Amino acid sequence: MTSPVDADAFFTELSDLFSRLGALHYGEDVSQLEHALQTAHHARVDGAPPALVAAALLHDVGHMMQKAGEDAADRGIDTRHEHISAGYLSRAFGPEVSEPVRLHVAAKRCLAATAPGYVDRLSAASLQSLALQGGPMSPAEVDEFMALPAAEAALRLRRYDELGKAQGVEVDGFEAYRELLCDLINRRAEA
């Protein structure tokens, strides 16, 4: 078991990361920070549990942590940001946060294979990354994915992710999630 993480310190670390690198773009028309806040907003509006709201807010932190650069997809590189994100977040959060994050790319591949019209609604950047990430799943991959405990949460996260790419949308700022994130971190530390 990992040693407990100080909730306020980890929130400050996350806040600093978004302050320093949240203006980066990753092929979409919104910044990392705008995308994170919009994705979390959609989770909240949908009545998602706190852990899924946190996953929605933090699912792409790996994009800001990677060294491949903003144009990685243009260079044909799948940065596997979902694994970077999940590994980083698992320091402070339980699997109810880190697993949907780890699986949100696989969820896109699953939806591309199973949800009629899903691929047609993807942004150009999301289509580009889908190709780099393996394209739509095969039927066997879909079955394997759906058997995972966090599959349904990852599918919900993916749908919020797709909604979180609109320009000029006003939503709550990062600080509005302090209590939610700190509560989740403290609950994990007490377990």
DSSP annotation string for 49-114: -HHHHHHHHHTTHHHHH-SS-TTTGGGT----HHHHHHHHHTTTS-HHHHHHHHHHHHHHHHHHHH
Least confident of 103-107, 127-131, 146-150: 127-131
Q: Does residue 2 form part of some domain? A: no
Q: Does residue 1 form part of some domain? A: no
The pTM for the full model equals 0.91
Residue among 4, 11, 101, 103 nearest 51 (CA)? 101
Structural domain range at position 129: 7-190
Residue 135 belongs to a domain with what CATH number? Answer: 1.10.3210.10
Q: For residue range 12-24, list pLDDT tens digits in order.
A: 999 999 999 999 8
At 86, which amino acid appears? A
CB 85 within 8 A of CB 101: yes
Percent of residues, the chain, with pLDDT higher than 90: 74
pLDDT at 74 over 50: no
Q: Does residue 14 form part of some domain? A: yes
pLDDT at 2 over 80: no
Number of domains in the chain: 1
User: Residue 77: what pLDDT?
Assistant: 42
Q: Does residue 179 form part of some domain? A: yes
